[in-house]
């Protein structure tokens, strides 16, 4: 099935005429400038159509994401964001409609936001009945609205409850034939702007004798370099020590390895961004995780940072001996 994505003609990005500011609860006599109203995205749609994936994508793009917030509290959440002095400039709220009263609250909240001049968009995740049934069966979970009936009964009930919201949505994304990466790419295209989505890396040194890190995406083996452990004057120190680091990088192939692996990671990082992957863990190992891997991790993390990759450095096994 061809994925379907469209935007309705009622653009909500310009509501300044006659619109009131979100109340901040502060006196207007103080002379302070009006609080900045956060941008708001409401993510809804069919259960199993990818709401959580869409929300995670926005979180990775720097949005403040709130899951399962009661619709009546959405204006309050926007008001709190307006009071944050710009720290919460973009808010995404994930809602699902499981009852008529719940839907009425959402409709009232949207009208309230419109009256206050809040820039907001509704993203609706859609999928075919066949695709939704396959997804629920694959995880062996019931549809939240099926009760004592079948999965298709729950899907039909939810589709009926959401019909009006779907009609009012600014963006409808049909995920019937999309995988996770393709859905993230569509969200990126809508919300990332002109900037390339950020990639965050964790560089972790470790010792092979303590086992591979279970969360590693890439593993680097530094055991091809001579071990400072066998140099008596270096043995007590770690790869954080300048003498140990100098010893490691004075060895044949050490600097070349760092340079060429950094170039390889640039290629990998570009591919990760295209595939919607925002986090990567690079594990750098030696025998005990004390000398070579620590020194190499320090240099590698510094290189990645200069390439614009937000980097966290962890030395898992340093100090275990």
Q: Which residues are annotated as a binding site?
A: 45-52, 96-99
Please give the annotated binding residues for ATP, written as ranges. Answer: 45-52
Burial class (CB in 10 A: 0-12, 13-18, 19+), 16: exposed
Please give the annotated binding residues for GTP, written as ranges. Answer: 96-99
């Amino acid at each position: 099935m061809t994925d379907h994505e469209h935007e309705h003609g009622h653009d909500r990005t310009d509501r300044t005429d006659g619109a009131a500011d979100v109340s901040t609860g502060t006196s207007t006599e103080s002379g302070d400038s009006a609080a900045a109203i956060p941008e708001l995205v409401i993510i809804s749609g069919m259960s199993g159509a990818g709401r959580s994936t869409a929300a995670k994508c926005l979180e990775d793009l720097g949005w403040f994401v709130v899951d399962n917030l009661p619709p009546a509290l959405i204006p309050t959440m926007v008001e709190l964001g307006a009071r944050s002095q710009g720290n919460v400039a973009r808010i995404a709220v994930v809602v699902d409609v499981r009852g008529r009263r719940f839907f009425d609250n959402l409709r009232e909240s949207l009208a309230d936001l419109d009256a206050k001049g809040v820039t907001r968009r509704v993203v609706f995740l859609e999928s075919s009945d066949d695709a939704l049934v396959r997804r629920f069966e694959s995880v062996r979970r019931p549809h939240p609205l099926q009760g004592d009936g079948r999965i298709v009964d729950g899907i039909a009930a939810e589709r009926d409850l959401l019909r009006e919201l779907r009609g009012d949505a600014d963006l409808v994304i049909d995920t019937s034939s999309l995988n996770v990466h393709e859905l993230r790419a569509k969200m990126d295209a809508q919300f990332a702007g002109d900037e390339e989505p950020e990639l965050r890396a964790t560089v972790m040194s470790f010792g092979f004798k303590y086992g591979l890190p279970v969360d590693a995406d890439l593993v680097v083996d530094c055991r091809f370099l001579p071990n400072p452990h066998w140099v008596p004057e270096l043995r007590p120190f770690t790869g954080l020590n300048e003498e140990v680091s100098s010893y490691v990088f004075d060895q044949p192939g050490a600097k070349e390895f760092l340079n060429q692996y950094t170039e390889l990671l640039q290629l990998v990082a570009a591919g990760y961004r295209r595939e919607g992957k925002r986090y990567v863990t690079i594990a750098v190992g030696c025998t005990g995780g004390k000398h070579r891997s620590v020194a190499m991790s320090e240099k590698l993390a510094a290189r990645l940072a200069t390439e614009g990759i937000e980097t966290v450095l962890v030395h898992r096994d340093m100090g275990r001996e």
